Amino acid sequence: MSALLESYAAGRWFRAADDGEPLLDAATEEEVARISSRGLDVAAMVRHAKDTGGPALRSLTFHERAGLLKTLAKHLLEHKDELYALSARTGATSRDTWVDVDGGIGTLFSYASKGVRELPNDTVILDGGLEHLGKGGTFLGQHLYTSKPGVAVQINAFNFPVWGMLEKLAPAFLAGLPTIVKPASQTAYLTELAVRRIIESGILPEGTLQLVAGSAGGLLDELTVQDSVDFTGSAHTAGILRRHPNVLDGGVVLGVEADSLNCSILGPDVRPDDPEFGLFVKGVVTEMTVKAGQKCTAIRRVIVPSATAGQVVEALAARLAEVTVGDPRDPDVRMGPLASLSQRDEVRKAVEALRAGTEVVVGDPGKASPFERGAFMAPLVLRARPGVTEPHEVEPFGPVATVLGYDGVEEAVALAARGRGSLVASVATHDPRVARSIVLGLAPWHGRVLVLDRDDAKESTGHGSPLPVLVHGGPGRAGGGEELGGVRGVMHHMQRTAVQGSPDQLTAITGRWTTGAARAESGVHPFRKSLAELRIGDTIASEKRTVSRADIDHFSEFTGDTFYAHTDEEAAARNPLFGGIVAHGYLVVSLAAGLFVDPDPGPVLANFGVDALRFLTPVKAGDAIDVTLTVKQITPRVGADYGEVRWDAVVSNQEGKPVATYDVLTLVAKTW
Ligand code: NDP
């Protein structure tokens, strides 16, 4: 008897007391492992996540959490070979495993990088700018995101045992939420191996990742408000979870990604000898055969102009004839078996249901598998009769697609919408007008839309690849959930709160200087202070400088910016906003830099940009400007001997009116 998979629960590996259920190799039907969660104390797991994992994670800043994700990604790269070897037992070819294992590790790297570049080195995220709620500037509002003291439970489908876990783990981890993973039993041995390698590395703080191998048991019963469940799988199971009392009344947030009848549309402009025709056919065949079509994003409905449908079918038949089906360990094999015999039975049942409204045009559903064992199935293309409903309702979760004819862009969009909401759609067209009308028609029904043409084909990641930086999820039938999408996926796990208060209070709460809060002028120029010495609110208020007409003329000549408002008296006088010659905005900010810098070598290493530059009042010859520069935010960079300092800059005129406001971004040495 093969080994019983273990759960990782409350800081130790747990083995069930019974023998468990066998899990079979998809190709050979040999037993790979056994699975059971009988006796697993899920309540203790939830407590452990909240008492140990959550506090440890929330004591780290976003940058520190991102650093751990990067270390974890590198660690898993070292274990790719054994993950690949075990993945073959799920029926995955090495091309399929690349999507699962490398795709999962790539998602960790992507979130590690986004976490450092787009999130603060803090534990709070500010959302949007300040809202001024009173005329005197003493009452302001600021939205912010904080981590929840809960647990993120993920319940995953069988088809991506590694990616499925990592794509949910990375954003939750960055958000400060510990995770409990419950993989689908069928392929849980691969998830268990990945979790084992993660746990033994010691990279993640204890309690931030736990594993349920086997049934979820009463896990949902233990969850409460502040907890979330992210589910990927069948609409049937999603329905059970939606009706759970803790979801209905207990405040548990449920995210669902369920069945999805994705489509690909061939534009009406595309002729069989256009590059887009070949790209379209290739895309459909790829989606039918990668993971043997067991992908939530696979193309199930092939929507083509009625007049071209015959040629599309011929081209699909020719390409599919080149697909070798067999043992996924054989490097010449393009498509392995389905994940299990029961999964193949499900697909066969779905094909039977589809046949009512379709005819088989490529492949033979009645043909027995040439292999004695294993869940093999050859690709099948069906062609729908006009007006039938089955292809819009039945999801064959395998290498099966249905061709549907359309007449006119409106009908193509209407057919796509009959799927009642999908994860992804693609359109092959080289006509921008067709692209606009189809994409805008598809967008309300889909989470992602790919426009494929000769210009992007070479770099395109294809119809079926969810990317960490783009939203993954879809409305309606696809479940209504949303994952990934870069930092959107992180916010999704956090609580947004509108905080109202005075500038000083908001500065203290957010860690970011707020307009109107106290400034500190110590007599030492802040450019003389290292990152360790600088404090939020440190300020330099400059001398005044009068802007002369000679300055404006010189700037025009020197830079070549001779726009009439700076050079032509008469034309400038007719300008309704200026009524005469005005200084260039860039002259104003250049003069401001001259007013605030401390020129000698010091801890300020570089200026790497400005944010939110606005010119508010025109500056004319004779106006006297000054600038106030205040430390707004200090972000030490992990692993570097410098950090970022964001300075609030306000340039004012002799009447005290602001003429320009912006944030100056600098790099400052940690010590000097
Ligand atoms: P299931 O819905 O059967 O299972 C998905 C996950 O839910 C598994 O981890 C399963 O665990 C778990 N689960 C099942 N019942 C419960 C329950 N009552 N409480 C808590 N967890 C539960 O889907 P499959 O993975 O078997 O896939 C079946 C179908 O799902 C496919 O044929 C396809 O139609 C669809 N699917 C959709 C995907 C998408 O992203 N849109 C992706 C993959 C599949 P266990 O395995 O232990 O039963």
Q: How confident is the model at residue 523 (pLDDT cuts 50, 70, 90)?
A: confident
The residue whose CA is least distant from atom 29 of ligand 1 is 234
State residue 466's pLDDT score: 95
Cα(383)–Cα(358) distance, rounded to whole angstroms? 5
Cα(529)–Cα(668) distance, rounded to whole angstroms? 9
**SS3 track for 70-138:** HHHHHHHHCCHHHHHHHHHHHCCCHHHHHHHHHHHHHHHHHHHHHHHHHCCCCCCEEEEEEEECCCCCC
258 lines ligand 1 (CB under 6 A): yes
527 lines ligand 1 (CB under 6 A): no
Residue 4 pLDDT more than 80?
A: yes
157 lines ligand 1 (CB under 6 A): yes
| Residue 9, CA distances (Å) to 45, 377, 461 in order | 5, 38, 37
Q: Which atom of ligand 1 is the closest one to the Cα of 395?
A: 34
Determine the distance separating the centroid of ligand 1 and the alpha carbon of 543, expressed in angstroms.
68
Residue 603 pLDDT more than 80?
A: yes
Q: Which atom of ligand 1 is the closest one to the Cα of 182?
A: 9
Q: How confident is the model at residue 311 (pLDDT cuts 50, 70, 90)?
A: very high
Residue 67 pLDDT more than 80?
A: yes
State residue 372's pLDDT score: 81
**What are the domain boundaries of the chain?**
7-258, 263-467, 519-669
State residue 371's pLDDT score: 83
Residue 510 pLDDT more than 80?
A: yes
Cα separation of the two ends of the chain: 65
Residues assigned a catalytic role = 257, 296
CATH for 519-669? 3.10.129.10
CATH number, domain 263-467, options 3.40.190.120, 2.30.30.280, 3.40.309.10, 3.40.140.80: 3.40.309.10
Q: What is the mean pLDDT of residues 521-541?
A: 94
Token code pair at residue 259: 């069945």
Residue 365 pLDDT more than 90?
A: no
State residue 369's pLDDT score: 77
342 lines ligand 1 (CB under 6 A): no
State residue 639's pLDDT score: 84
Each residue's pLDDT tens digit, 82-107: 999 999 999 999 999 999 999 999 99
Each residue's pLDDT tens digit, 387-404: 999 999 999 999 999 999
Which residues have a Cβ under 8 Å from the Cβ of 648 and sit 6 or more positions away?
Answer: 513, 515, 628, 629, 630, 631, 632, 661, 663
Each residue's pLDDT tens digit, 137-189: 999 999 999 999 999 999 999 999 999 999 999 999 999 999 999 999 999 99
Determine the distance separating the centroid of ligand 1 and the alpha carbon of 334, expressed in angstroms.
26
Residue 507 pLDDT more than 80?
A: yes
262 lines ligand 1 (CB under 6 A): no
Residue 346 pLDDT more than 80?
A: yes
Q: Which atom of ligand 1 is the closest one to the Cα of 234?
A: 30
The residue whose CA is least distant from atom 19 of ligand 1 is 216
Probe target for ligand 1 pocket from 96, 158, 247, with the most ligand atoms within 8 Å of CB? 158
86, 34 contact by CB (below 8 A): no
- The mean of the pLDDT values for the chain is 96
State residue 2's pLDDT score: 79
Determine the distance separating the centroid of ligand 1 and the alpha carbon of 157, expressed in angstroms.
5
The residue whose CA is least distant from atom 35 of ligand 1 is 234
Q: Which atom of ligand 1 is the closest one to the Cα of 214?
A: 47
State residue 38's pLDDT score: 96
The residue whose CA is least distant from atom 4 of ligand 1 is 233
178, 55 contact by CB (below 8 A): no
Probe target for ligand 1 pocket from 234, 348, 400, with the most ligand atoms within 8 Å of CB? 234
State residue 366's pLDDT score: 80
Residue 459 pLDDT more than 80?
A: yes
Residue 353 pLDDT more than 90?
A: yes
Q: Which atom of ligand 1 is the closest one to the Cα of 35?
A: 47
Q: What is the mean pLDDT of residues 534-558?
A: 97
Cα(664)–Cα(648) distance, rounded to whole angstroms? 7
Q: Which fold has domain 7-258?
A: Aldehyde Dehydrogenase; Chain A, domain 1 (3.40.605)
180 lines ligand 1 (CB under 6 A): no
Q: Which atom of ligand 1 is the closest one to the Cα of 219?
A: 20
Phi then psi for residue 445, to 5 deg, are -105, 0
| Residue 329, CA distances (Å) to 94, 501, 507, 575 in order | 8, 63, 59, 74
107 lines ligand 1 (CB under 6 A): no
